[in-house]
């Protein structure tokens, strides 16, 4: 069929081959090239359509956003035109991101503004929940981290999304990655910017009730506003309930979301701080949330490593006995809830172990307690890594073990193994074969991994601080958000590797091998 763009048309649906609308007579072909197939949605500021681009081979599909100001005031139209062009240019910049639809074109036609964007095939997260049910904590964490990385990038461009919600996050069918859509372009109210700077574009009361925080509804959005909306999105994905259907505190107005789900205490703390009504108490940026998630993951393994390094005597019954420190962890890292602290489930009355640098304090506390009373020379002495066979590591992981620090795994065959979230700190893995293994979120800090085979391995969010990776094969590896701080990369093969948002500098990359298939930290392919 063909769809008429005239906002006042009584019958916009037409025959596929029609050139003019039979109801109002308007031309159906937009800008001489876009054939509108169907309407996708509409609101007070415009409408969205699915269209075919007849000027390109194969007539690829695209999304057309029609932005129509509800006024004939010439002054407002002039201002709207200026803001529209500025916002389109902003979208053009951030549209280079691999998880944001590209801006293909923008123009004005008969006092209406049009944005043409890339069509993303897939279901949004709201549709997924309705079809497949709610997500568990592991799935939520993955969604949270993926969207936080996107927010970190757009915030760096000084853009606030203002409408984070499940319906605006699409799981792209072709690669299963999440794509953030609908940036609320020129969803403004004209009197808001009268006499003000056009950058006040971010200050319009745009957003979805329940997902938008108070300061955004008061037309004072900040980067933290997107963090709040993402927190509410996580609650929806875990409960299947819209914010209006959740209980709230009658005094503070805060959502009592924790009554509806079961997640780990540390994750409760992170979500709680994301959902703080007060901007002052909320995470200020997406990067702060990512750091909290990262610290939460590594704090226990780092604490255990400190413990293992300072123990005077080690049981010798098993090559893995040195890392069996779970009972020690319970004694050293106190549970604030068991220690009589105020509950961490209430927004306005809580003590968060991950908020306000307390994770750093936990590590400091652990190191002081483990080092206190011990011989200083023994604490400084670095134990020799224990030789361990690949089968022992695989069997131990299957039984729930995750700490494999201070192990010698040189030349072992661990290809295609599932070892996600393991600790390999201070280990020797020279020429170890990890091809196609799942090593996501692993801690390799201070390890020797020269000439290790890591081709096509999953290493997203891996910790490579002070690791020697000289001559390693990382072709096609997923290294997104990995930390290569002070890591030696001379001769490393990164051809086709994904380094999106990895912590790695230009000097390190210059010592490694890359090609046009390498995805750099900025999301672009090719050489730096």
Output the DSSP codes for 285-348: SHHHHHHHHHHHHHHHHHHHHHHHHH-S----SSTTGGG--HHHHHHHS--TTTTTPPPTTSTT
Q: What is the CATH number of domain 122-245?
A: 1.10.510.10
Indicate where the chain has its CATH 2.160.20.80 domain(s): 384-528
384-528: CATH topology: Pectate Lyase C-like (2.160.20)
In the chain, CATH 3.30.200.20 covers 2-118
Q: Which residue has the tokens 């413990």?
A: 307
pLDDT for 365: 37
- Tokens (6 digits) for 478: 């997923």
Out of 3.30.420.10, 3.30.200.20, 3.30.470.20, 3.30.70.1170, the CATH code matching 2-118 is: 3.30.200.20
* Residues 437 and 455: beta-carbon distance below 8 Å: no
Paired strand residues for 64: 49, 116
Distance CA(5)–CA(68), nearest Å, equals 11
C-alpha 385: how far from its chain's center?
35
All CATH 1.10.510.10 domain ranges of the chain, comma separated, are 122-245
Q: What is the pTM of this model?
A: 0.56
Per-residue pLDDT at 220: 87
- CB 493: neighbour CB atoms within 10 A? 20
CA distance 202 to 192: 11
3-state secondary structure of 509: helix
The residues annotated as belonging to the active site are 163
What is the C-alpha to C-alpha distance for residues 215 and 224, in angstroms, rounded to an integer?
Answer: 10
pLDDT at 94: 81
Which of 286, 253, 258, 291 lies closest to 272, judged by CA?
A: 258
Contact 498, 477 (CB under 8 A): yes
pLDDT value, residue 44: 54
Helix (H, G, I), strand (E, B) or coil at 493: strand
Q: What is residue 43's predicted lDDT score, i.e. its pLDDT? A: 63
Cα-based distances in Å from 202 to 100, 114, 116, 158, 216 = 18, 19, 21, 9, 9
DSSP character for 526?
S
Distance CA 87, CA 113 (A): 12
Local structure of 213: helix, strand or coil: coil
pLDDT attached to residue 118: 92
pLDDT at position 515: 86
- pLDDT values of the chain reduced to their tens digit, one per residue, 528 residues: 888 888 888 998 998 888 899 999 988 999 889 999 988 887 656 788 999 999 999 999 999 988 776 666 777 777 767 767 777 887 887 877 899 998 899 888 877 889 899 999 999 999 999 999 999 999 999 999 999 999 999 998 888 898 899 999 999 999 999 999 987 653 333 333 333 343 333 434 567 888 989 898 888 889 999 999 999 999 999 999 988 888 877 766 677 787 768 888 889 889 999 999 889 889 999 999 999 998 876 655 555 554 444 444 444 445 554 444 333 333 333 343 333 333 333 333 333 334 444 444 443 434 433 444 444 444 445 688 999 999 999 999 998 999 999 999 999 999 999 999 999 999 999 999 999 999 999 999 999 999 999 999 999 999 999 999 999 999 999 999 999 999 999 999 998 899 999 999 989 999 998 888 899 998 888 655
Torsion, Cα 362 367 370 374, to 10 degrees, reads: -160
């Amino acid at each position: 069929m063909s769809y008429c763009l005239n906002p006042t048309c009584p019958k916009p649906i037409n025959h596929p081959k029609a050139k003019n609308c039979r109801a109002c007579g308007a031309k159906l072909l937009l800008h001489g090239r876009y054939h509108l197939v169907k309407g996708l949605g509409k609101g007070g500021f415009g409408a969205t359509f699915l269209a075919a681009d007849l000027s390109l081979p194969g007539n690829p599909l695209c999304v057309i956003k029609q932005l129509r100001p509800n006024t004939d005031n010439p002054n407002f139209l002039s201002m709207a035109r200026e803001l529209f062009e500025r916002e389109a240019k902003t979208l053009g910049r951030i549209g280079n991101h691999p998880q944001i639809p590209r801006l293909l074109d923008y123009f004005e036609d008969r006092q209406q503004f049009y944005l043409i964007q890339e069509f993303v095939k897939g279901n949004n997260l709201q549709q997924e929940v309705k079809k497949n049910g709610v997500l568990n904590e592991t799935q939520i964490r993955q969604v949270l981290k993926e969207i936080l990385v996107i927010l970190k990038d757009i915030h760096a461009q000084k853009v606030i999304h203002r409408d984070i919600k499940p319906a605006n996050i699409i799981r792209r069918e072709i690669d299963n990655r999440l794509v953030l859509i609908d940036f609320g372009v020129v969803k403004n109210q004209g009197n808001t910017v009268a006499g003000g700077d056009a950058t006040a574009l971010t200050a319009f009361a745009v957003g979805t009730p329940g997902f938008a925080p108070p300061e955004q509804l008061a037309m004072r959005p900040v980067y933290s506003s997107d963090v709040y909306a993402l927190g509410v999105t996580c609650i929806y994905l875990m409960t299947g309930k819209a914010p209006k259907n959740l209980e709230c505190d009658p005094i503070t107005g805060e959502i009592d979301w924790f009554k509806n789900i079961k997640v780990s205490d540390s994750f409760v703390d992170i979500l709680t701080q994301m959902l703080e009504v007060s901007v002052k108490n909320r995470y200020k940026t997406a990067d702060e949330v990512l750091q909290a998630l990262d610290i939460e993951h590594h704090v226990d393994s780092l604490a255990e490593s400190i413990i293992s390094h300072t123990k005077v005597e080690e049981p010798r019954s098993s090559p893995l006995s040195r890392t069996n420190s779970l009972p020690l962890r319970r004694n050293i890292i106190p549970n604030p809830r068991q220690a009589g602290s105020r509950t961490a489930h209430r927004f306005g009355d809580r003590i968060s172990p991950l908020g306000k640098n307390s994770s750093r304090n936990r590590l400091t506390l652990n190191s002081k307690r483990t080092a206190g009373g011990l011989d200083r020379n023994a604490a400084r002495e670095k134990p020799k890594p224990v030789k361990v066979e690949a089968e022992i590591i695989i069997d131990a992981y299957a039984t729930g073990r995750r700490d494999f620090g201070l192990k010698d795994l040189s030349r072992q065959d661990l290809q295609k193994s599932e070892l996600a979230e393991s600790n390999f700190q201070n280990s020797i893995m020279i020429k170890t074969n990890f091809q196609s293994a799942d090593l996501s979120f692993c801690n390799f800090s201070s390890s020797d991994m020269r000439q290790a085979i890591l081709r096509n391995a999953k290493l997203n969010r891996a910790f490579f601080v002070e690791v020697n990776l000289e001559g390693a094969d990382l072709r096609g590896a997923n290294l997104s958000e990995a930390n290569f701080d002070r890591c030696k990369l001379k001769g490393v093969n990164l051809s086709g590797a994904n380094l999106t948002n990895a912590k790695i500098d230009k000097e390190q990359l210059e010592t490694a091998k890359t090609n046009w298939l390498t995805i750099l930290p900025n999301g672009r392919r090719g050489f730096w």
